Chains A and B, each alone.
Chain A
Amino acid sequence: MADESDIAISLRGIVNRFGQQVVHDGLDLDIRKGEVIGIVGGSGTGKSVLMRTVIGLNRPAAGSITVLGTRMDKASDAERARIEASWGVLFQNGALFSSLTVAENVQAPMREHTDLPAELMGELAALKIRLAGLPADAGAKFPSQLSGGMKKRAGIARALALDPEILFLDEPTAGLDPIGAAEFDDLIRDLQRSLGLTVVMITHDLDSLVAICDRIGVLIDRRIRVGTLAEHLQDEHPWIRQYFHGKRARAAGI
């Protein structure tokens, strides 16, 4: 196992169940600092649940979560707030605050966690909006005035607001056109390289997996199998074989 200080997120023995249905059973996962890890799995294997568990929206039935060296279940409120300021989350549908404009959405985490002057905050929000690939005039719009893809980009802009160390992305390229998705991959790659970001990305976009993921975690049989693309290609598990050797995988150049 890698050195303790190289691990951004460590999950041990996570159990998640909803009623009779067990989603995760003794799941272990280490996510290294500065890597882009893609999470894949069939419908209902608990990809989003796993992400919600890590970010504290879902309390696991058993197991421990350590983020940046802090045990989340034992952390004080102050420690928890510090950790929460160091991650950015993009939800599947953007989850933008509908009563705020896009620019105000991006500024919301900044207002909460920093004491930047209003003018600089406005500029930074505008910068994030442009970096996320939105036109400059999108800042004044309300989420209801945006298309699905634009909402996603606005969500990314908000996730990047505090220049987080860890970025959680739930299906970031779903609903984007191929050009936008490729631009998004580039953006994540650039940010990850220059900021040393750790990116946890739930995705079904095989192109994204190939283009930017260092490792891939496959949720299967209530556990996760993590490895590089080359390792997964050797895996004999039928679902993994089907996933990485299917027609679409070939189209993505795997």
Chain B
Amino acid sequence: MSAPGSNAGWVKLSLDAGRATWSFGGAWTIDHAASLARDIEAAGGASARAALFDLTQLQQLDTSGAWLIARLGHALEAAGVAVETRPGDPALAALLTRVAETRDVLPTPPRHRSLGDKIAELGAAVEHVVLESRDLVAFLGHLVLALGRLVLRPWKLRWNAVFAHLEQTGLNALPIVGLINLLVGVVLAFQGADQLARFGAQTFTINMLGISVLREMAVLLTAIVVAGRSGSAFTAQIGTMQVNEEVDALRTIGLDPMDVLVVPRVLALVIALPLLTFFADMMGLLGGGLMCVVLLDISFQQYLSLLNQAITINHFWVGMSKAPVFAILIALVGCFEGLRVSGSAESVGRLTTRSVVEAIFLVIIVDALFSIMFSYLDI
């Protein structure tokens, strides 16, 4: 307990004839609240039938200090002790009264989850996935309707927005898409040559490289990069507009967010992703080719002619045919999650993450379905 007279707050309890006198003095402020709370606890004094709070020596009081005194008063009254107050400074007494009269001070229990809550959360998450899948399909339906309207009235399309998004999602993505595919081509050729050399089948490196780049790698990697780059941007842009009530503002002036926000993004990506995929094909084959020149000891012309024998144009078209589908998936999920943002900036972040994860997941699922389909079709 701090000694009376020092600047820190102090509390003194004296008992006489069944009456407890609590003297409070010094500075009862938040800086001293932790030790004052312990002092009150240590003072005890529950045996008395009546109590007097002497506030005459209080020098400073803030809401934290007032709460400690008020809390003691509440506790004593609850135990059947009559509490009287001898006020000092009227301003301090007024604050104490205000704090003491504040009802329903119920601390919020800390957030913690029991096993039951976790099971319930699991159930809610499953339900959420089911409902969201349904909503996504409904959103796809809306998009198809909007595109149908556009076919009837093509001059309604916002070309400016389409070109702006085409620049952002296509042109600006060229360096990263090119670099990644070049490096993956290098890695594929290196690993392939290394493994196939054990069977003396080194020349098949070029077959493996051509087929894997054109059919799978280029389009898949490009889709994943674009999902991370542009899908997330779509969600964040639309989500921020949603938070600022811009999307609601669009609706009130008779514009459908589907026409204004979603359709230009989907169209831009449907144009951009096949172009990026073509670029990725070239860069992948270039990277692989450079590696083959080094490892297989052939010239670049020889590499090109071997590549020409190894692959058919079908491999190229298989890869390219997937690009628009992936583009629709990425743009759809990006815009869909953006429009689901509600309330706060935090939800923009959460849904942006979810949009990227979902887009990549769907791209890989659909890629697997394509593989099955192509193998049945014998392409």
Contact = CB atoms under 8 A, between A and B. Distances in A.
Interface in A77-129: 98-99, 101, 103, 110, 114-120, 122-128
Interface string B98-114: 11001111111111000
B295 interface: no
A193 interface: yes
A117 B37 contact: yes
A190 B95 contact: yes
A156 to B, nearest CB: 12
Contacts of B33: 114, 116, 120, 124
A15 interface: no
B91 interface: yes
Contact of A125 (B31, B91, B108, B111): B108
Q: Which of B64, B91, B98, B108 neighbours the largest number of chain A CB atoms within 10 Å of its CB?
A: B108
Given A131-B99, A194-B98, A140 B108 contact: yes
A136 B106 contact: yes
Contact of B95 (A135, A136, A194): A194
B95 A163 contact: no
B221 to A, nearest CB: 33
A36 B316 CA distance: 75
A244 B190 CA distance: 81
Interface stretch (B79-87, B202-210, B323-331, B344-352): B344-352
Interface string B317-351: 00000000000000000000000001111110000
Contact of B108 (A114, A122, A160, A195): A122
Given A131-B99, A144-B344, A144-B346, A136 B30 contact: no
Contact of B63 (A117, A128, A139): A128
Contact of B67 (A98, A99, A127, A144): A127
A136 B107 CA distance: 8
Given A116-B33, A144-B343, A144-B347, A195 B95 contact: yes
B92 interface: yes
B262 interface: no
B162 interface: no
Nearest to A99: B346
A140 B91 CA distance: 32
Contacts of B94: 190, 193-194
A194 B61 contact: yes
Contacts of B61: 194-195
B120 interface: no
Q: Which of B29, B31, B344 neighbours the largest number of chain A CB atoms within 10 Å of its CB?
A: B344
B71 interface: yes
Interface string B14-58: 000000000000000111011001000000000000000000000
Contacts of B358: none
A218 B268 CA distance: 52
B340 to A, nearest CB: 13
Given A122-B107, A125-B108, A114 B99 contact: no
B239 to A, nearest CB: 13
Contact of A127 (B29, B37, B102, B344): B102
A194 B105 contact: no
B349 to A, nearest CB: 9
Contacts of B99: 127, 131
A130 B62 contact: no
A190 B62 contact: no
A123 B107 contact: yes
A163 B29 contact: yes
Interface string A130-162: 110001110110111100000000000000101
Contacts of A162: 30
B63 A160 contact: yes
B342 A139 contact: no
Interface string B164-188: 0000000000000000000000000
B108 A143 contact: no
Interface string A25-39: 000000000000000
B71 to A, nearest CB: 7
Contacts of B95: 190-191, 194-195
Nearest to B63: A163
Contact of A195 (B62, B103, B104, B346): B62
A117 B30 CA distance: 12
Contacts of B344: 98, 142-144
Contact of A120 (B34, B102, B103, B104): B34
B108 A103 contact: yes
A115 B105 contact: no
A119 B223 CA distance: 51
Nearest to B94: A194
A163 B62 contact: yes
Shortest 6 CB-CB distances between A and B: which pairs?
Answer: A144-B343, A194-B95, A122-B107, A163-B62, A139-B108, A98-B344
18 contacts: A98-B344, A99-B346, A120-B37, A123-B105, A125-B107, A127-B99, A130-B102, A131-B63, A131-B98, A135-B104, A136-B106, A139-B106, A142-B344, A163-B64, A190-B94, A190-B95, A191-B63, A194-B98
Interface of B: 29-31, 33-34, 37, 61-64, 67, 71, 91-92, 94-95, 98-99, 102-111, 342-347
Given A98-B347, A124-B33, A136-B105, 10 more contacts: A98-B346, A120-B33, A120-B37, A123-B107, A130-B104, A136-B104, A143-B343, A144-B343, A160-B63, A191-B95
